[in-house]
Amino acid sequence: MKKTILSVVSVLLFSSCVSVEKQENNLQYVDPFVGTTYTGHTFPGAAYPFGMMQPGPQTGNFEWKYCAGYKYEDPQIWGFSQNRLNGTGIPDMGDLLMMPFAGDRNTSYRSSFSKETEVATPGYYSVLLADNAVQVELTAAPHVAMHRYHFQKEKPSVYVNFQSGQVSTEKDYENRIQDIAVNFENDSVISGYYRAKAWTERPLYFTIVFDRPFEGVEDVSESLKGKAPVKVLRFADELQTLQVKVAFSMVSVENAKLNMKQEVPHWSFGQTKKEAETAWSNYLSRVEVEGSLEQKKNFYTSFYHLLIQPNNIADVNGDYRGATEQIQVSPSGKYYSTFSLWDTYRAAHPLYTILTPELVPDFVQSMILHAEAYDGLPIWALWGKETYCMIGNHGVPPVVEACLKGFPIDKERAYQAVKKTLTGKNRKYDWEMYDRYGYFPFDQVKEESVSRTLECGYDDYCAAQLAKDLGKKEDYEFFMKRASYYKNLLDPDTKLARGKDSDGKWRTPFDCYHLSHAGTAGGDYTEGNAWQYTWHVQQDVDGLIEFMGGKSAFAIKLDSLFFLENRAEQTGFTGDVTGLIGQYAHGNEPSHHVIYLYSMVDRNDRTAELLREVFDRFYLPKPDGLCGNDDCGQMSAWYIFGALGFYPVNPVSGDFVIGAPQIPEISINLPDDKVFTMKAHGLSSQNKYVKKVYFNGTEITDYRISYEQIMNGGLLEFYMTDKL
């Protein structure tokens, strides 16, 4: 099926058809504090869409809850670092902690603050530090963080900690900086380099520029030791306002300076803030929502979280440092990383193809460049480096999805990257074993054998579809055979996915409720159990239905997932398995498509009931409103699709499964002045069921709407009812 390829002109005109007033209005609905406590792991700092810098407050460290460096309920701020991760389950970033203060301070530079003085909006953060007598304002450009400090007393100073960063333990903190060189170029410019080691190891080049000279520099002793210096910079007593610019590069100090010169050559904090707000407005204005204030806050905050990453880590001249640390020049000038692909292939990347389609080619090109320089497509890439976090090779689905949806990508080059990933040298998978047994035996693969088999099967299916598109018949058949390996682990007695050893014997004894994090405690599943992973057959739902005994039997089995409350022994870290409805875990990604399976067995009523429950319980516009890690926008993408009334159960298929909308009306402004509108007639707290659904006046009698239909624009209408 042919797709319409975006033209450059249509992309440039994306936001021009939306009034400035509407663009600005949508900013008011974003609340960066949503998800900043419980397990959301989001942050309220200033950010630029897909930018490298996210300056913001740090309120803690050395624990899982501080992956983003901030918890809403904390009473103290430790300082302000320049970057962070959004919604992840492992800490990193938090580079270059800076803390302004006035007057005399002892050994601690931390400050209490009142929540009433804390303000966060897209591209801006502000707070009054009560103990330090300073109001702090932060904003950001793509490669530059900008600070503005308003001192309320004499003796203005700035504490600068080059050691600081988000890590798991205090010991990790001491060892975080592997190598460092700091150069005080003059009385207003500091530059340098360090190599940081946390989740991954990466080089960082920086320049820090002050708009007023510092009069003295003091070394400060630290209780937490490390290789990096910690300094206090003293400024003139009469100074009331101080501005600071911090620019990063992964390539060189010269490039960091070039980034600053090109993006923020001036000292106008207001201009930088306005440019960030305009960038956010241009994206947020692509969607117009008609609904309640709470619905708008949930929707636009989700949209905001989706756009924080992936991050363009190429410098303004196109230089970037990739997985092998060689410096390259990007053909497009962009190189994206921070790909949480185990999470984001499911809904975030399909949503990018609708809401930010002009960015998709660069996302995919960055993945292909990673594959050509390294072992294959990224698994979990952080600032260009491979972390090998999680399972599967889920760079494959977004690459294939983009190729099949008609984006301007070299398909043959993309396919070679896919094939290399799934058949070549792989640090996590023995492909000869996989093909010999038709699954990963639990006596040879000690961790996650079932989950790895199921997730690799989806990647194989994706590879098969691209091979078929390119006319590679033998490769298509090879990968489709692999895609069916899941059947070898479906136990006909329990009707669940169950571990099997190299002799073909089932895991015995078998506790289908046992929940474990395989990376910390062994086990056959990844952050889950048999009940949660059995449904991970996105490529062949019809085959799974047949295995269960048909649609009726499938629906009954699926009901059990949501009703069974058994809580068996848990081993290892299971903090990610949250948002439970029975055994269903909305806080963890393998469950995200499962509710929509009801629509595929003629039980859209159950889809509607469960969607409403998830929306009412697990997406609330408040700090503890998310039931799990936002995972670089995946939880947010799920919300947006749920609100629209459809979901990509099988992302590369180009089809979306019809669910039940949760917002009365949503319009998406598309390229070429096209508009896609969803209307839910009669939607209310009682009217949660779908009576009929039409697209452009024609009734949809199955459960699908295609990507092509959406991108050509039109009207999707749901007629809602309170009756089953």
pLDDT tens figures, 575-596: 778 999 999 999 999 999 999 9
Cα separation of 634 and 142, whole Å? Answer: 22
Angle at 589 between CA 306 and CA 468, to 5 degrees: 90
366-406: pLDDT as tens digits: 999 999 999 999 999 999 999 999 999 999 999 999 999 99
Cα separation of 240 and 669, whole Å? Answer: 45
Question: Mean of the per-residue pLDDT values for the chain?
Answer: 94
685-707: pLDDT as tens digits: 999 999 999 999 999 999 999 99
**165 touches 95 (CB < 8 A):** yes
pLDDT of residue 567: 62
Q: What is the mean pLDDT of residues 56-79?
A: 98
pLDDT of residue 409: 98
Position 198, amino acid: A
Residue 672 tokens, joined: 């070429």
Residue 116 DSSP one-character state: G
- Strand ranges (DSSP E) for 215-324? 216-219, 230-234, 241-249, 287-290, 311-312, 319-321
pLDDT of residue 515: 85
Instruction: Tell whether the model's pLDDT for residue 10 goes beyond 50.
Output: no
| pLDDT band (50, 70, 90) for residue 574 | low
Residue 10 tokens, joined: 């249509």
Cα separation of 158 and 504, whole Å? Answer: 65
pLDDT of residue 660: 98
| pLDDT band (50, 70, 90) for residue 519 | low
102-158: pLDDT as tens digits: 998 777 899 999 999 999 999 999 999 999 999 999 999 999 999 999 999 999 999
| pLDDT band (50, 70, 90) for residue 568 | low
Residues 6+ apart with CB under 8 A from 509: none
79-90: pLDDT as tens digits: 999 999 999 999
Q: What is the mean pLDDT of residues 641-658?
A: 98
- Against a cut of 0.85, is the pTM above it? yes
**400 touches 462 (CB < 8 A):** yes
Q: What is the mean pLDDT of residues 253-270?
A: 98
Among 530, 458, 456, 540, CA closest to 500:
530
| pLDDT band (50, 70, 90) for residue 518 | low
- Strand ranges (DSSP E) for 368-516? 380-382, 385-386, 490-491, 496-497, 515-516
Residues 6+ apart with CB under 8 A from 631: 87, 88, 89, 340, 343, 344, 589
